[in-house]
Amino acid sequence: MHYENEIAKIEYDSTGEKTLPHGVLEWGIAFLLIMLFCIAVVLSCQNYSRTVPSTSEAKIYFIAREGSVSYLEPVIKRIQMSENPYKYLIEALITGPPPATGLMPVLPPTTRVLKVVKSNGMLVVDFSKEVLTDANIVSGSSENQLLCLWAVANTVTQLGDVRRVRILIEGRRRGIVAGKRIENFWGSSPISLDISRNEKVIGKPDLPAWRFVDKQALASKLGWGEVVRGNASEKIIALTFDAGAGIASVDSILEELNEHGITSTFFLTGQFAEKYPEIVKRIAAFGHELGNHSYSHPNFVESGVGKLARELEKTESIVQGLTGISTKPYFRFPYGARNKELISQVNELGYLSVYWTIDSLDWMSQETPDSIRARVVSKASPGAVVLMHCNSPQQKEALPPIISELKSEGYKFVTLTEALK
The 8-class DSSP code of residue 14 comes to T
Pick the catalytic residue from 288, 293, 362, 389: 389
Please, are residues 380 and 237 in contact by the beta-carbon 8 Å criterion? Answer: yes
Strand partners, 227: 354
Count of Cβ atoms closer than 10 Å to residue 17 Cβ: 8
Please, are residues 79 and 89 in contact by the beta-carbon 8 Å criterion? Answer: yes
**Distance between CA atoms of 335 and 20, rounded to whole angstroms?**
116
What contacts 24+ positions apart, CB below 8 Å, involve 1-10?
Answer: none
Amino acid symbol at 43: L
**Distance between CA atoms of 55 and 79, rounded to whole angstroms?**
5
**Distance between CA atoms of 370 and 240, rounded to whole angstroms?**
19
> How many helices (H) and strands (E) would you count in the chain?
14, 19
Known catalytic residue: 389? yes
Phi, psi (degrees; rounded to nearest 5) at 211: -70, -20
Pick the catalytic residue from 126, 242, 293, 362: 242
Known catalytic residue: 13? no
Nearest to 164 by CA among 116, 106, 121: 121
248-286: b (≥16 Cβ within 10 Å) or e: bbbebbbebbeeeebbbbbbbbbbbbeebeebbeebbeb
Task: Kindly list the catalytic residues.
Answer: 242, 389
